Structure 1
Amino acid sequence: MKIADLYIRVSTDEQADKGYSQRDQEERLRKYCEINHIQVRKVIYEDHSAKTFKRPSWTKLLGILRKSRGQSDLILFTKWDRFSRNAGDAYQMIGTLRRLGVEPQAVEQPLDLSIPENKMMLAFYLAAPEVENDRRALNTFHGMRRAKKEGRWMGLAPIGYKNKIDESGRKYIAPREVQSDIMKWVFKELAKNIFSTEQIWKTAREKGLKCSKNNFWTAIRNPMYCGKIFIPKYKDEESQLVMGQHQPLISEALFYDVQDVLDGRKKIMRTKIKVDDRYPLRGFVICPDCGRMLTSSKSKGRSKYYYYYHCSGGCKFRQKAEYMNDKMFSEIGKYVYSIPKLNLFKEVITSVYKAKTRDRIGNIQQLKIRLQDENNKLSKARELLLCGDIEADDYRMMKADADKEINRLEAKLTSTITDTQNVEPLWDKAISNLSQLGYLYETGTTTQKRKIIGSVFPENLTFDGFEYRTTRVNEAIKYISLINKELSGNKKGTNSSFLNLSHQVTSEGFKPFHDLPSNNCLFSCFNFIGNL
């Protein structure tokens, strides 16, 4: 009497659609064994897909067959699609079973595989379920692609969002509380280009962000955060971005600024370093002798360690970290003004800011010219294609490049045109922070100290042993220093127009190497100060 193992496989979809229940299959197989006088040794139940043979129960059965050869003659299943839905893998597995002395057989599609002609029927039985699987996968792919073109996000919600279902049963994604706010903060910090991406990820984790480093990198490259859905290239269709139906977390302009930082197209203002409580000035101060960035280290004395800033090159410049840190605290203190004075500055600087915003008109014109140039290039490429001067593949490559640049320019243009931000609402917080800047620096964490230094001094500093020097300070603070100097020199109510004052004046105690006219927007400067 032959001995057989019964293999029963079913997936949830098949059980619902075709009635392939485990009980039904077992009844058919046992009835077949009873009629043909076959002894049943083991019944194996499987609930995995038959696309591959990487299935838990099948792997376990194969291991038993290899360890105990000769204890089973047959592996029985109802149909060949229960065995496999991949013809190539099925042929290899049949060969493996035969070498183990076991014959696979479908009781409802019996084949004597020793007869060569029956291999044609086996090929048909194996190919039919594989074709069915491929058709189902293709239909699913086209359905998902069509949904993406409609602006719907498919699959699990990305970081900062959650999957939801409305009353009609339609699935969508919506911002997740806390997580979405952290992702907004992440993009803003990346755009500033002060800290490294890994530092921002670690800080975001401390704030409560739940994601791995790889998922974080994928997220900050994903245009869905600015409301766009990416549709990859498929056959003759080029890749494209479509407007999503979900709520964006950031603007397109901010997203593209972050991409510029990640791609290295945005100027790096200073070296990105790891934060150390003893060296808040690292990455801000350069060597006065050779111009290289100062690094830091500690030296062991007889009873304790001593901490120093020193040149990273071959220079002999070396200063105690405590001394330089104290000098920086004194330098920050030079920019502390009383609230009455700051209120007086408010009116003057607000007027200056409004005058400077007129420069946006020129920026808008430049963006429009660049946008028109890209559209002209695209039109020219289209004409060359119609005339037969270029191939269709070349045109598709040119169109993809042009579309990418056009999307970037349109986002910047939209941001510039709709930028109606007012500097006045920032004043209350900025005045409060400037009036106690020294206290905020002294009591703040190392990260907060570095943020204050970076806000006050946009360019690198040098230290000659007695005082700090820099080429430029924060635009808002520069205006305040200028107005304060003019007010101090204005005797007996002499009338003076602050709007015509030079922008080149720096605070007393700073000796700039050379005067550099600043084109930075005052709004961002006040925003920095207001958010210290």
Structure 2
Amino acid sequence: MSNAIIYTRVSTDEQANKGFSLPHQKQVLEMFCQHKDISILKHFKEDFSAKNFDRPVFKEILTYIEANRKNIDYFYITRWDRFSRNVEEAYRIIREFREKGIEVNAVEQPLDFSQPDSKVMLAVYLVIPEVENDKNSIRTKEGLRRAMKEGCFVGLAPKGYINHRNPQGKSTLAFDETMAPLIRKAFLDYSKGILSAEEVRKKYYHKGLKISKNTMLNLLKNPVYCGKIYIKPWRKEEEVLVQGLHPAIIDEDTFDSVQRLLKGKQKAKIHKFSEIDEELPLRGYLECKSCGRALTGSASKGRNGKRHFYYHCQPKCKERYKADEVNALFENLLKEFVIKEDVKKLYKELLDETFNGEKKDRQLRIKQINRELETLNARMESIENKFLDDLIEASIFKTLKRKTQMKINDLKSEMTNIKSLDKNIEEYLKLGISFLHGIDRLYKTSPSNIKKKIVGSIFPEKLVFLENKYRTANLDPFISLIISKHAPFKRLKIKTPRQNDGVSMKAPPLGLEPRTL
């Protein structure tokens, strides 16, 4: 006696609209097997689309067949569209079953696979449901696009909204009264250009806006929050942005500002420096005399609870110095840098030449921007005329007008920034000269990040402490060129924690002698 497994399937739409009931299919299959004297080993039923074989129940069938292949002779369905609506995948599964000794057949559309002509009928039976499926897919997509062009929202509501139907019965969105205010605040915070997207996300995460980093970025890019609906390009239709039926959480100007920031125009993230950064500004710029590695630094707490900071090497190395005395030594060193009067005059001439050259480039760019604005304004007028003459649809008109207006706004913003750069040359000269004229005072009053930049700009190589001197190999060539002299470092003492007496730190003349201008 032969054995078979039977498979019944419907999709939700078919069950509701076409009456392909699972009990009816099962009854037909059982009657067929009874008539053919075939024993039914197992019945599998499924409510899932037949676009492919990645279906939950069909995966169970494959597992069952793998475990019981020797006992299975047939795999029966009522009709071939119950089996698959994908010709290529159907052929593959039928071939795999045949290799396992299992014949696949439909009891209402039976085929004799011993006859080569049956393959033609199999192709017909399989391709008809696939064609029907493709037609349904196209009709569905076209229907959704028509609804979206009318301002309907047809997908799952994004964060801050809930799915809703308006009084006319059209699918749209309504505010989520809990999330919408948080999202509005998040957009406004980010639009100021002070906080990064991740900082904004963290700020509102514990207030209820629990989303991931990527979701936050996608949220800020989604035009649905300014009342728009984005329609993807399809066939010969271009992408389009239409006005939605739903209310906006933020205004268009704020949304446009956010998009410009996301494209890379936002301000740099502000780094907060800790106490140890402020107390150890030379960390990473000092070199250990014993092993040549960069000295690090840390703090230790005294008996009175006060913290004491030290520059030191790795644990195996014994180099260790009090930070306040090392810092004071460096500040005294900076007092030796004085700018020459003749260099000041030459520096002013160089700045004047540089800024005048850049001014010409800026003036040329302003002329280019004016020409581009004329072109865009003419394009805007052309778009409006075509709309008035009914040559383009309202949705396309709004999209083209919006894109053109954004380009105009960006160019006007660029022109404003360029014009703001045309400052008095004396202001730049004063700033540049004051940097070197009072570099020791600037260093003392600056935060640690500025101090590190000053050290790095003056000394291209690390400073080295020896037992009786304090030296660096070379000054930066530009710094060496514009200072009048560099006297030998004064004899200064730095007490180490392991010594009672001070160690004399004498610096020899720097390796790079200054030129005379």
TM-score interval (norm. to shorter): 0.5 to 0.7
Alpha-carbon distance in structure 1 between the residues aligned to 2:26 and 2:134: 28
Residue 42 of structure 1 aligns with which residue?
Answer: 42
Residue 471 of structure 2 aligns with which residue?
Answer: none
Residue 378 of structure 2 aligns with which residue?
Answer: 376
Contact 2:187 2:258 in 1 (8 A): yes
TM-score, with structure 1 as normaliser: 0.57
Contact 2:226 2:249 in 1 (8 A): yes
Contact 1:182 1:204 in 2 (8 A): yes
Residue 193 of structure 1 aligns with which residue?
Answer: 193
Q: Give the counterpart letter for 1:265 in structure 2.
A: K
* Residue aligned with 1:61, SS: helix
* Residue aligned with 1:76, SS: strand
Alpha-carbon distance in structure 2 between the residues aligned to 1:409 and 1:8: 58
Residue 406 of structure 1 aligns with which residue?
Answer: 404
Alpha-carbon distance in structure 2 between the residues aligned to 1:161 and 1:411: 30
Residue 108 of structure 2 aligns with which residue?
Answer: 108
For the pair 1:81 / 2:62, whether they are aligned, the reply is no
**1:170, distance to aligned residue in structure 2 (A):** 3.0
**1:95, distance to aligned residue in structure 2 (A):** 0.8
Query: Residues 385-444 of structure 1, C-alpha deviation per residue, up to 9 Å, x if partnerless?
Result: xxxxxxxxxxxxxx999766414257899xxxxxxxxxxxxxxxxxxxxxxxxxxxxxxx
Query: Residues 76-125 of structure 1, C-alpha deviation per residue, up to 9 Å, x if partnerless?
Result: 11000110110010000001111111111100000012211111110111
Q: Give the counterpart letter for 1:95 in structure 2.
A: R
Alpha-carbon distance in structure 1 between the residues aligned to 2:55 and 2:73: 21
Residue 513 of structure 1 aligns with which residue?
Answer: none
Query: Residues 218-257 of structure 1, C-alpha deviation per residue, up to 9 Å, x if partnerless?
Result: 1111111112211222222221211111111112111111
For the pair 1:127 / 2:156, whether they are aligned, the reply is no
TM-score, with structure 2 as normaliser: 0.58
Alpha-carbon distance in structure 2 between the residues aligned to 1:128 and 1:7: 20
Residue 158 of structure 2 aligns with which residue?
Answer: 158
Alpha-carbon distance in structure 1 between the residues aligned to 2:402 and 2:324: 50
* Residue aligned with 1:7, SS: strand
Q: Flag the 1:65–1:307 CA change in 2: closer, same or farther, 3 A.
A: farther
Residue 504 of structure 1 aligns with which residue?
Answer: none
Residue 357 of structure 1 aligns with which residue?
Answer: none
Q: Flag the 1:209–1:45 CA change in 2: closer, same or farther, 3 A.
A: same
Alpha-carbon distance in structure 2 between the residues aligned to 1:260 and 1:280: 35
Alpha-carbon distance in structure 1 between the residues aligned to 2:225 and 2:275: 33
Residue 176 of structure 2 aligns with which residue?
Answer: 176
**1:42, distance to aligned residue in structure 2 (A):** 0.8
**1:131, distance to aligned residue in structure 2 (A):** 0.9
Q: Flag the 1:208–1:408 CA change in 2: closer, same or farther, 3 A.
A: same
**1:172, distance to aligned residue in structure 2 (A):** 1.7
Query: Residues 117-156 of structure 1, C-alpha deviation per residue, up to 9 Å, x if partnerless?
Result: 1111101111111111111111111111111111222211
* Residue aligned with 1:46, SS: strand
Alpha-carbon distance in structure 2 between the residues aligned to 1:10 and 1:260: 49
Q: Give the counterpart letter for 1:376 in structure 2.
A: A
Q: What is the count of residue pairs matched by the alignment? A: 346
Q: Flag the 1:176–1:144 CA change in 2: closer, same or farther, 3 A.
A: same
Q: Give the counterpart letter for 2:241 in structure 1.
A: L
Query: Between the two proteins, what is the percent identity of the paired residues?
Result: 36
Alpha-carbon distance in structure 2 between the residues aligned to 1:63 and 1:69: 10
Q: Flag the 1:106–1:306 CA change in 2: closer, same or farther, 3 A.
A: farther
For the pair 1:51 / 2:51, whether they are aligned, the reply is yes
Contact 1:187 1:258 in 2 (8 A): yes
Residue 251 of structure 1 aligns with which residue?
Answer: 251
Query: Residues 343-379 of structure 1, C-alpha deviation per residue, up to 9 Å, x if partnerless?
Result: xxxxxxxxxxxxxxxxxxxxxxxx9996543143688
**1:319, distance to aligned residue in structure 2 (A):** 8.6
Residue 222 of structure 1 aligns with which residue?
Answer: 222
Q: Flag the 1:251–1:169 CA change in 2: closer, same or farther, 3 A.
A: closer
Q: Flag the 1:168–1:466 CA change in 2: closer, same or farther, 3 A.
A: closer
* Residue aligned with 1:113, SS: coil
Alpha-carbon distance in structure 2 between the residues aligned to 1:46 and 1:73: 21
Residue 16 of structure 1 aligns with which residue?
Answer: 16
**1:195, distance to aligned residue in structure 2 (A):** 2.1
Contact 2:153 2:171 in 1 (8 A): no
Alpha-carbon distance in structure 2 between the residues aligned to 1:307 and 1:82: 80
Q: Give the counterpart letter for 1:226 in structure 2.
A: C
Residue 509 of structure 1 aligns with which residue?
Answer: none
Alpha-carbon distance in structure 2 between the residues aligned to 1:81 and 1:239: 35
Alpha-carbon distance in structure 2 between the residues aligned to 1:8 and 1:84: 12
Alpha-carbon distance in structure 2 between the residues aligned to 1:103 and 1:306: 83
Alpha-carbon distance in structure 2 between the residues aligned to 1:400 and 1:299: 63
Alpha-carbon distance in structure 2 between the residues aligned to 1:467 and 1:40: 86
* Residue aligned with 1:115, SS: coil
Contact 1:159 1:211 in 2 (8 A): no
Single out whichever of 210-219 and 182-191 deviates more from structure 2: 210-219
Q: Flag the 1:281–1:136 CA change in 2: closer, same or farther, 3 A.
A: farther
1:432-471 matches, cutoff 5 A? 464-465=443-444
Query: Residues 298-329 of structure 1, C-alpha deviation per residue, up to 9 Å, x if partnerless?
Result: 63446779599x9xxxxx9x899xxxxxxxxx
Alpha-carbon distance in structure 1 between the residues aligned to 2:65 and 2:156: 40
Alpha-carbon distance in structure 1 between the residues aligned to 2:162 and 2:410: 29
* Residue aligned with 2:70, SS: coil
1:477-488 matches, cutoff 5 A? none
